[in-house]
Chains A and B, each alone.
Chain A
Amino acid sequence: MNFKEEMLCSKSHEYVLKEDNGTCIIGLTDYAIEQLGDIVFLELPAVDDEFSQGDTFANIESVKAASEIYMPISGKVAEINEELIDAPEKLNEDCYENGWLIKVKPTGSEDEFAELLSYTDYKEELE
């Protein structure tokens, strides 16, 4: 999977990538990780938790500050990236292939995706 080509991004720096089986991978963009600096804490939701678009689903902390992570779409948690809980610093190396946060079954309408940006547009928006 080529994350940067296929994923969609929110203005609050989360990405969502649709897999062939319909689940969606959600994580934080490399820009967000770069801005946060050294990641030292991550709290993820439980499998089966349900969230609406815009809900806080996780908490992340860098050395300097604590931040919330928001759902780019509505969904029910199918899987969490357990490896990151004990080693959140791995996010600084890779926030895509091995550094995604959760996988969800989307529960909202397709319109939710229309509000998101391609990675290229997202990067442009930042400049």
Chain B
Amino acid sequence: MVKETYLHDKHVALGAKMVDFAGWHMPVQYSSIIEEHKTVRKDVGLFDVSHMGEVFVSGKEATLFLNKIVPQNIKKLDYEKAVYCQLPNKKGGLIDDLIIYKLGIESYLVICNASRLDEDLNWMVRNKKGMDVKIDNLSHNYSLLAIQGPKAIDLVRKMGYNIPEQKSFTIKPAIIEGIKLLISRTGYTGEDGFELLVENEYSEFLWDKILEEGQEFGIKPIGLGARDTLRLEAALHLYGNDLDENTTPIEAGLSWSVPKDKQDDYNGKEVIMNQIQNGVEKRLIGLVMLDKNIARHGYEVYYNGEKIGQITSGGISPSTGKNIALAYVKNLKEICTGTIVQVMIREKLHDAEIVKRPFVEKKNKIK
């Protein structure tokens, strides 16, 4: 059974092209992926991301429990703050990547990928044995709307949300247009923006209201197609493409998110700390194609005639006009920024240059 969000009929009425994504019938585009992409970079866009999982973790040992399952130090997470986390298995490979929000004393919200919700829940339950922790999957109760783009701040202010200086990676309870919700300054586009977690029954009203109030800022509804090109330009990982159970956060270029001084033990810590000290065999790189060809997921990467890895995400970058990609390659010392490698596309090798990530300047620096 393919699931529908509470906003499904809105998408259909807006003329969206619908696709199946992670078990959900979701809008891939409303007008044009490129137009929608540019709207988010220039003005503001509205996304329905209600397919994502919302898991509430609470109880006397909630902090200890979360600290055991992620490399990040949840003990250091302040009230109303958010942190980008990974969920490693015992070998350091990733079951999922998450954002954890601290809602209160021993009370957390974990937002996870729709495609991984079941695995995440199984893993959490297996890891909580004997601990005083409650894990509530309330994904089916909530809708998640993302307002992203340079004008997102003007729009939420206009809608009566006026908490001054809500910083990036924070979450607050708020009342917007008379609706009680949680608003966080997070997103998956590389732009400034907000995510609104609201009970399902208010989602349609809020969706319409945001589009109406956003008109003067040039708002458009944005589908999953542009969500993917936006996150790729920002070099944000997509689980299933750029992250999986055989890839550690260190190999994935996420060392910046892994504390080196965390005392508590966590799943995969030995492997992860060993890689921090002694290096990795494969690692994530960013590529820009040097001709018009487009690198795509699964294509092979070569250096000096030898296969060194493969593309995990690739496509066009509407903001730069270039064709960009993320790839995992052998960690050779010759492979560094500026090195020219080749991508096998339709049985021919095409040059690509290794570049620093992200591919565009991020407006919502995590750190």
Are the CB atoms of A66 and B296 closer together than 8 Å? yes
Interface check A38, CB cutoff 8 A:
yes
Interface check B17, CB cutoff 8 A:
yes
- B28 contacts across to A, CB distance below 8 A: 64
Are the CB atoms of B293 and A41 closer together than 8 Å? yes
Interface check A126, CB cutoff 8 A:
no
Are the CB atoms of A40 and B29 closer together than 8 Å? no
Interface check A63, CB cutoff 8 A:
yes
The smallest C-beta distance from A23 to any residue of chain B, in angstroms, reads 27
Alpha-carbon gap, A66 to B29, bound state (A):
17
Are the CB atoms of B32 and A37 closer together than 8 Å? yes
Interface check A59, CB cutoff 8 A:
yes
Beyond A59-B346, A63-B316, whether A37 also contacts B294 by CB under 8 A is no
Are the CB atoms of A41 and B225 closer together than 8 Å? no
- B34 contacts across to A, CB distance below 8 A: 38, 40, 63
Alpha-carbon gap, A103 to B225, bound state (A):
33
Looking at the complex, which one of B17, B29, B32, B292 makes contact with A41 (CB distance below 8 Å)? B292
Alpha-carbon gap, A41 to B32, bound state (A):
16
- A41 contacts across to B, CB distance below 8 A: 292-294
Q: A45-86, CB under 8 A of B: which get 1 and which 0?
A: 000000000000001010111100000000000000000000
Q: A63-B225, A63-B316 are in contact. List 9 more A-B contacts (CB 8 A).
A: A38-B34, A41-B294, A59-B346, A63-B229, A63-B315, A63-B318, A64-B28, A65-B296, A66-B294
Q: Which residues of B contact A (CB under 8 A)?
A: 17, 28-29, 32-34, 225, 229, 292-294, 296, 315-316, 318, 346
A-B contact pairs, 24 of them (CB 8 A): A37-B29, A37-B32, A37-B33, A37-B225, A38-B32, A38-B33, A38-B34, A40-B34, A40-B294, A40-B316, A41-B292, A41-B293, A41-B294, A43-B346, A61-B294, A63-B33, A63-B225, A63-B229, A63-B316, A63-B318, A64-B28, A64-B33, A64-B225, A66-B294
